[in-house]
Amino acid sequence: VMVGAIEKQKLVYIMNRDASNRLTISSPLEAHKSNTVIFSMVGVDVGFDNPIFACIELDYADADQDPTGEAAEETEKNLTYYELDLGLNHVIRKWSEPIARTASMLLA
């Protein structure tokens, strides 16, 4: 399960069943990225491979430091994929590609 706040914070929890068939939740794994606004986040169906999550993100680092406002007009939204590597127990920012600025929602 991946949980994210509007700005920067993204946490991944691994859910398993113990010997008594009770649901257990792991400690959170962090996938934070500074100066980023998250518009939407979904899980991607990958079968039995490592879990992958897709996010629409906007990096405002340049816009935050530009007093003229030009950088804010040029910021791009990105479709970013995060992979939970179950072998290493680590979240990896797998891939990112610019998308239309009007995009705001992902459906799974």
Residue 95 sits at φ, ψ, to 5 deg, of: -160, 145
- Residues near 89 by beta carbon (within 8 Å), at least 6 away in sequence: 14, 29
Mean of pLDDT values over 77-94: 94
Q: Give residue 14's pLDDT.
A: 92
Tell me, what's the pLDDT at 22?
94
> Dihedral of CA 95/96/102/105: which sign?
positive
pLDDT band at 80; cut points 50, 70, 90 = very high
For residue range 19-78, what is the model confidence (pLDDT) as tens digits? Answer: 999 999 999 999 888 889 999 999 999 999 999 999 999 998 888 888 888 888 889 999
DSSP code for 21: S
- Reading the block at residue 101, the tokens are 């600025």
Model confidence band, residue 104 (pLDDT cutoffs 50, 70, 90): very high
pTM here is 0.85
- What Å distances lie between residue 101 and 7, 25, 59, 97, CA to CA? 17, 36, 12, 12
